[in-house]
Amino acid sequence: MSLPKSVLVTFALALVACVVYGQNQSQVSSSCMGCICEASSNCNTTLGCSTPYPGGYFCGAFLISFPYWTDAGKPVLQNDDPEKKGAFENCAIDLYCAAETLRRYMKKFSSNHNRADCNDDGVIDCVDFAYMHHLGGYGCNDPSIVTTDYYTKFQTCWNVVNGAQPSG
């Protein structure tokens, strides 16, 4: 089974982001980050910002919101100021900065095991990170996520990464 080009590009970009930002492999692996990116936007690295519904504002390939970025500690591009207008957008649309945002967000929310085990399977892993990314770190244990397009895309990618064979 060969991987689609977009998945290969996603993993290559995520791996670069992880190396550049000193990714801690005990947190979010490059393949996990790649699948979250794939599930969020098909890892479309040309996405800007959009308002898909009133009150919703998401930017970049990971579809990061301003509150998510704030919870992650407001990482910014080199020489940018987190309090400057546009700093959020500049970071969220930059794949490296967005990957750092995701890494910091997961580090913050995975520190509390009871809250971070989103699927209640006893371990905190990439599936939990996918839940947290989509549902938020404050309440990520909504089992209905498995019925979403986001989760279907994530699980398909994660199965490919882990060499799982489709059932049937």
Summarised one tens digit per residue, pLDDT across range 22-50 is: 433 348 999 999 999 999 999 999 999 99
Measuring CA to CA, how many Å separate 98 from each of 4, 21, 34, 132? 23, 11, 12, 15
For 129, residues 6+ apart whose C-beta sits below 8 A from its C-beta are 28, 32, 36, 106, 110
Helix and strand numbers, DSSP H then E, in the chain: 8, 3
Average pLDDT, the chain: 86
Report the length, in residues, of the chain.
168
| Cβ-contact 18, 100 below 8 angstroms | no
pLDDT (tens digit, 9 = 90+) per residue, 103-144? 999 999 998 767 899 999 999 999 999 999 999 999 899 999
Which amino acid appears at position 122 of this protein?
A: G
| Residue 88 pLDDT greater than 80, yes or no | yes
The pLDDT value recorded for residue 14 is 45
Domains of the chain, earliest start first: 5-160 (1.10.530.10)
Query: Would the pTM count as exceeding 0.85?
Result: no
| Cβ-contact 28, 116 below 8 angstroms | no
Measuring CA to CA, how many Å separate 85 from each of 63, 80, 81, 88, 157? 19, 10, 9, 8, 35
CA 125 to chain CA centroid, Å, is 13
Residue with tokens 């910091």: 104
